[in-house]
Amino acid sequence: MGNKLRIYSTALAAIALVLFLILISSTATAAPLTITETRITTSGSASNPDIYENKIVWQDTRDGGSDIYMYDLSTMKETQITTSGSAYNPAIYGNLIVYEKHGMNYPDDPWHSSDIYMYNIATQQEAQIPTSIGAFNPDVYGSKIVWDGGGIYLYDLSNAKVTKIAEDWYNNDEFAGSGSQNRDPVIYGNQIAWYCQDYTDVDTFYSIYLYDLSTDHKTEIASIMNDYLGLPDIYDDEIVYTTASIYQIGTFIYQISTQKISQITTSETVSSPHIYGNRIIWQDNRNGNWDIYMYDLCTSTETQTTTSGSAVNPVIYNDRIVWEDSRNGGSDIYMATLSSSNLPETVEAEIYFSPNTLNLRSGGQWVTVYIELPEEYAATGIDVSSVLLNGAVSAVTDMKCNFVTDKREYLTDVDRDGISERMLKFDRKAIGSVLKKGNKVTITLTGRVEYNDGISSSVADFKGSGVIKVIESKSKK
């Protein structure tokens, strides 16, 4: 049996500045929800935030140019990530931050010479992603990075391969011009969603598409002619989007597995929806000012989460909502922390790491990990696509592998205590690229698990660290 590593729950450091506290009794059966608001920046020039676990990133023009900054909630430390003065639109997942850099190759034409870069928080190294000129709007999930620019593109760090998902085209005929522009992709697991504008000389069609990397199948999930359709967001099996047309008004959710569309709100002033677990958020101008609203899919309850009247561009991760707010004149980043008696702390779990001594020169293909959760959390609820080793290496999710699809292989009881473990495999070479040899090398696993607390279904994080031995020796012949 491999080395047994115990994952310990991590208590977040308390944030000193709490601007206001709202207590909301959502329904008779739902636990009271407390919203604690925190100001993250004071520069008056911060925008476009994103969040993953304890880390918030944004772009900031405090020094004249635009650079990417990061705030760690666990250490309450702000870090400047870029210094070029030309970095925009950050997204974060694990230890990777991706963003645009403008004018690096053609300084005289910065907006038509945008490339995608990534920054590894663990190694503090920046690298350019192979892209064409004019690449924008990056997103990242695990080892996969997507962006637009002449179409939708995917770069996979595990094999250094660029894949074209969708292609723009134009016909500039003087009598009947037509074309198609694909932009603003988002990714979760093997699913990519994006916004598309198809036009002729008379009509314009706005659509949202979904592409499944495991099947190479493209699906149109929404389409409107000559009217408003908002950008999508994706989480697990669900895509959210907004629309305001003569046919449909409000926020909608599309379930990938059933192809069913449900309406969440009927407000005609909604935009920028985001989803995490059972919570959907968006910005809304229904009262003449922009504020953030949230809808809980489990309780069917809508909650206004801000009251400043100047809150836009919200994102959500677990029980934290982050947005930009101009209540003080300039634009700053704020965070709302949601809490209730039904929300757990980070789940404590046990894992078995095999082998407990990892040889970087071994010819083996996989490294195996068994994850055991407390009895109230089922191992089958683990979101395999969310699991990361050291914030960089994703678990194998290839549906062609039996250990991914067959419960007889991925559910077991290795320690014979009556509680099932979830078996995962990681690519040995990918792990070797993020580990250095040593007798005591720290391994950190993060991930999410769906659970039911007796009232509703929700999502919790699990996270922790352990130590293994890493060697680099040639195999004996």
| 343-399 tens-digit pLDDT | 556 888 888 887 788 888 887 888 888 888 888 888 888 998 889 998 889 998 887
State yes or no: pLDDT of 63 exceeds 90: yes
> How far is it, in rounded angstroms, from Cα 477 to Cα 266?
69
pLDDT at residue number 1? 42
Q: How far is CA 217 from the centre of its chain?
A: 22
Tokens of 24: 């909301």
Average pLDDT over residues 119-135: 88
Determine what percent of the chain is predicted with pLDDT higher than 70: 87
Which of the given ranges, 55-69, 94-108, 166-180, has the highest pLDDT on average?
55-69
pLDDT, tens digit, 9 for 90 and up, residues 317-337? 988 999 999 999 999 999 999
State yes or no: pLDDT of 273 exceeds 90: yes
pLDDT at residue number 443? 84
Contact 360, 472 (CB under 8 A): yes
Listing DSSP states for 44-64 in one string gives SBEEEEEEETTEEEEEE-TTS
How many Cβ atoms sit within 10 Å of the Cβ of residue 345?
11
Tokens of 71: 């705030």
Q: How confident is the model at residue 118 (pLDDT cuts 50, 70, 90)?
A: very high
Total residue count of the chain as it appears in this document: 477
Q: Give the mean pLDDT of the chain.
A: 85
Contact 79, 70 (CB under 8 A): yes
pLDDT, tens digit, 9 for 90 and up, residues 188-235? 999 999 999 998 777 888 999 999 999 999 999 999 887 888 999 999
Contact 240, 253 (CB under 8 A): yes
Which region among 107-116, 238-247, 281-290, 373-382 has the lowest average model confidence (pLDDT)?
107-116
State yes or no: pLDDT of 53 exceeds 70: yes
pLDDT at residue number 134? 85
Determine what percent of the chain is predicted with pLDDT higher than 90: 50
Q: Which residue has the higher pLDDT, 2 or 92?
A: 92
| Largest Cα span, the chain | 75
Average pLDDT over residues 103-125: 79
pLDDT at residue number 472? 83
User: What are the backbone angles phi and psi of residue 409, rounded to the nearest 5°?
Assistant: -100, -40
> How far is it, in rounded angstroms, from Cα 453 to Cα 31?
11
pLDDT at residue number 175? 55
Cβ neighbours of residue 282 closer than 8 Å, sequence gap 6 or more: 242, 251, 265, 270, 271, 272, 273, 274, 292, 293, 314
Q: Which ranges of 376-444 does DSSP label H, i.e. alpha helix?
A: 402-405, 407-410, 428-432
Burial state string for 127-149 with b = 16 or more CB within 10 A and e = fewer than 16: eebebeeebbbbbbbbbbbbbbb
Distances (CA, A) of 143 to 154, 159, 387: 10, 9, 11
